[in-house]
Every structure is written in C-alpha cells, then in structure tokens.
Amino acid sequence: MILALRKAATSILLITLIAAAARLAFAIYESRQISPQALSLIPFQTETGHIAYSLATGKGFSSPFQRDTGPTAWLTPVYPVLLAGVFKLFGVYTLRSFYAAVLLNILFSAATCLPVFFAGKRIAGLGVASAAAWLWALFPNGILIPFEWIWDTCLSALLAAALLWATLLLRNSKCLRDWALYGLVWGLTLLTNPALALLFPILLVWAAFPLRRDWRSSLPRPLLAAAIAIACCIPWTIRNYVQFHKFIPLRSNFPFELYIGNNENYDDTHRFRPGAITQDREILRYLRMGETAFMEEEQRKAFAFIAAHPRIEVRLLALRFVDFWLGTSTPVAAFAQADSLAIRLVLFCNYLAPLGALLEIVVLVARMNTYAIPLIAFPLVFPLLYYLTHTSLRYRHPIDAAVFLLFAAGVGGLLQIRAARRQLSATAPASAA
C-alpha cells in the first residue's frame, strides 16, 4: 500500500493530469458564473486580443487599442498570432474562441509540470522533483491565471521552465544539434516574452562554462545557440524598422511601462505608488500622436520624473520589490482585509513561495551546489525589469515554476542536513565508547 502511494505521488503523469483537471474544473465553475456575452468579448479587450483581431480580419499586426492606428510593435508576435489562429478557427470574439484560448492556457500550464519535474530530478532527485511538480500543479495562481488572462502568461511559464531544464541538460554537451535546438527554443521564447531575455546570457554562459578548457573547438557551440536565437528575432526586428524607421529589436512599449510606475501623478497622498494613469487618457494621446512619438514622449516624462525625485524613486523601487513578490506592497493589511478564506489562501501561497525560494538560495549557496547559478538567476535577475517599471503577480508567473523548484529543493536540502546531523549525533557516542 505504501509503495503504491509513493509510486502515485511521484508519477509525473498523475501530477500533470491533476494539474489539468484542477485548472479545467476552475474554468468550468467560473464560466458558469459569467454570462456568455461577457465571456465572448471582455477577456479579449486587451492589447493581445485587439492585435489578434486585426490579424484575423486581415489588417495585419496592428491596432493594440482596437481602433485602427496602424502597425504596432507593442507586443511580440507569437501569442497574438496564436490567438488570431483561434479566431480564424472558432470566430472573432466568440464564446467558442474564449473556451479554445482558455483550453490552450490550461494545456500550457499543466504541461509546465513536465520540465519542472525533470529539472528537479536532475538537481536533487525524485522526491524534490515530485514536490516541485505538485506545488506547481496545485498553486492557486497556476489554477486561476489560465482562465483569468488571455495572454502569453501560461506559455511564458512553460517556456521558462523548459529553458531551465534544457540548460541543465545542455551543460557539458558537445553535440551541435543540442545547442542549435537550445537556440531555437530561446528564439521562440524571445518572440513570446522578451522579459525573459535577461536570463539568456547567464544561462548560456553557465551551460558553456565546462567547455572552457577546450574553448577553441567548443566556442562555436554556444555561439551557434546565440546566433540561432538572434536569427529567429531578426525578421521581426526588420519588420519593425521598416514600419517605424527605428531600431526596435522586439517590443516598443518599455517607455510606456516605465512611465506607468514613475510619473508626475505621485504626491504625498499616494503613499505606495504613483496615482493611477487612466487608460482612456493615454489611449487618446496614443491615437493622436502615433506609436513612435507617443513612446518617445513617455520615455522623456519618465526619465524626468526619476531624475527629479531620486528619494521617491528609491522608495518606489522598494515597494515594487515587495509588490512583485507578495502581490501587494501592503501584505499584512491585504491579508487582514481579505473578505474570504479563498482570497487569504491565495495570498498565503503567494507569500510562502518567495520565502521558500529565499530559503533555497541560502541552502544552494551554502552547499556550493552545481546548479545554484541557473536556479538563482530566475528570482534574482528576471524581476529587475519590473522593479524599474511596475509589478503584478501575472508578471511574476513565468518564473513561479522555478520558484517552486527552489522551494522544494530548499526544503529537501534542509531535511538532508537534519538527517546528516542526526546520524552524526547517533554515531558520536559509539565512536567515543
């Protein structure tokens, strides 16, 4: 009986199926609480949905705010093109398209269990691998987000976890095909979520580092991976230059995101962040000015605010750090004011995840673990962009799988240390005798 339970608990197939079932059950429950008319329209009223609409109706990659404003580089192409394909198959702004998009998100999210499990198995064995996969499978945000956000969030989480696993597999590899495939996965990732680009040089250098002893013959391998990843992005960069007469490697919207978190609406009454910028006001400016001029103006205003208010900026950076990891810059107040047990459970899990990751970072560094650098890079490097701009738990989601892997490995490491100390204390009296 115990053996059967252990086999079930470490079965990646079972874990993945339960992850999918939990997400599907939540989606079915929530969809019954909302009118079909709302589901067929409201989830697509985002930049992603509007660009997908333009693609599906033959207007090209354009108009992130629904009105015809011409070509855009607000987003990278992979997910809007995928969503446009859903519109082509199931209709534009239809209930069937919503269900198809949610089902894709559920598949992406559940499939993330696989790279989490196999990366964990390589790092610390079957126990840690299973624990990390279960944590991801039952993580409240992982269950909520596939239904709540028709965005690249779930696909980004899958790609981030796959890249972590691929990086661990690639270390010491001398097979050119492995490095070429690694470059292709990175190319797809960069065209899905450019924020993950911060991790690219770190993971690539770590994977290639053991080859340094024979660098003349080995250097072409990581260079091949980097070249393929960049080559995947070049057609999109050329398209952007042709459309905007400006070098935009992937996305154009960084100035706008920077301005959202650093703007003149800040005053003493807004203790935790700048005041809200109404989307309507910004969209009207975007429509009037065009994308290039609009972004240049947003960048100028954001830089001016940062330069004029250095003390406020330090405070905002600290608050965004807390907000990124805990989902709110006032975690104690948010937990106390939550009006349901379900919300408190979500908040508790969000608070627990980064604390567990911090624990594992300490354990990895203390034990000088071989896999410390790629694992630690996810929580230390990826969020830097959001500390500068603005934060959301949705933005953290692409690295949540890596965070839970850190959590599981940290607990596993502590248990091993505790077991070793017990064994040492048990043998000490015998040796003394």
Q: In this predicted structure, what is the pLDDT of residue 307?
A: 93
In this predicted structure, the answer to whether residue 9 has a pLDDT above a threshold of 90 is no
Residue from 34, 16, 35, 12 nearest 24 by CA: 16
Count of beta carbons in the 10 Å neighbourhood of residue 347: 18
In this predicted structure, the answer to whether residue 284 has a pLDDT above a threshold of 90 is no
In this predicted structure, which of 47-61, 117-131, 212-226, 375-389 has the lowest mean pLDDT? 212-226
Q: How far is CA 216 from CA 175, 208, 211, 219, 280, in A?
A: 15, 12, 9, 6, 56
Q: In this predicted structure, what is the pLDDT of residue 155?
A: 98
In this predicted structure, the answer to whether residue 37 has a pLDDT above a threshold of 80 is yes
Distance from C-alpha of 393 to C-alpha of 412, rounded to nearest angstrom:
26
Q: In this predicted structure, what is the pLDDT of residue 331?
A: 79
Q: In this predicted structure, what is the pLDDT of residue 190?
A: 98
Q: What is the mean pLDDT of residues 4-14?
A: 85
In this predicted structure, the answer to whether residue 111 has a pLDDT above a threshold of 80 is yes
In this predicted structure, the answer to whether residue 56 has a pLDDT above a threshold of 80 is yes
Q: What is the mean pLDDT of residues 283-292?
A: 86
Q: In this predicted structure, what is the pLDDT of residue 428?
A: 56
The more confident residue out of 124 and 92 is 92
Q: In this predicted structure, what is the pLDDT of residue 136?
A: 95
Q: Where are the alpha helices (DSSP H) in 112-152?
A: 113-124, 126-138, 140-148
For the ranges 17-31, 209-223, 255-269, 384-398, the maximum mean pLDDT occurs at 17-31
Q: In this predicted structure, what is the pLDDT of residue 267?
A: 54
Q: How sure is the predictor about 269, in pLDDT bands with cuts at 50, 70 and 90? A: very low
The pTM (predicted TM-score) of the whole model is 0.91
Q: In this predicted structure, what is the pLDDT of residue 371?
A: 82
In this predicted structure, the answer to whether residue 433 has a pLDDT above a threshold of 90 is no
The more confident residue out of 281 and 116 is 116
Q: In this predicted structure, what is the pLDDT of residue 270?
A: 45
In this predicted structure, the answer to whether residue 352 has a pLDDT above a threshold of 90 is no
In this predicted structure, the answer to whether residue 266 has a pLDDT above a threshold of 80 is no
In this predicted structure, which of 41-50, 286-295, 405-414 has the lowest mean pLDDT? 405-414
Q: In this predicted structure, what is the pLDDT of residue 412?
A: 66
Q: In this predicted structure, what is the pLDDT of residue 268?
A: 46
Q: In this predicted structure, what is the pLDDT of residue 272?
A: 45
With a pLDDT cut of 90, the percent of the chain lying above it is 59
Q: In this predicted structure, what is the pLDDT of residue 429?
A: 55
Q: In this predicted structure, what is the pLDDT of residue 340?
A: 76
Residue from 121, 214, 116 nearest 162 by CA: 116
In this predicted structure, which of 251-265, 299-313, 324-338 has the lowest mean pLDDT? 324-338
Q: ∠ CA 300-301-303 to the nearest 5 degrees?
A: 65
In this predicted structure, the answer to whether residue 280 has a pLDDT above a threshold of 90 is no
Q: Are 394 and 145 in contact (CB under 8 A)?
A: yes
Hey, what are 78's tokens? 């992979």
Q: How far is CA 205 from CA 23, 93, 184, 200, 210, in A?
A: 36, 44, 17, 9, 9
In this predicted structure, the answer to whether residue 427 has a pLDDT above a threshold of 80 is no
Q: What is the mean pLDDT of residues 229-237?
A: 97
Q: In this predicted structure, what is the pLDDT of residue 279?
A: 57
Q: In this predicted structure, what is the pLDDT of residue 271?
A: 44
Mean pLDDT rounded to a whole number for the chain: 87
Domain boundary assignment for the chain: 2-417
Q: What are phi and psi of 269, to 5 degrees?
A: -80, -20
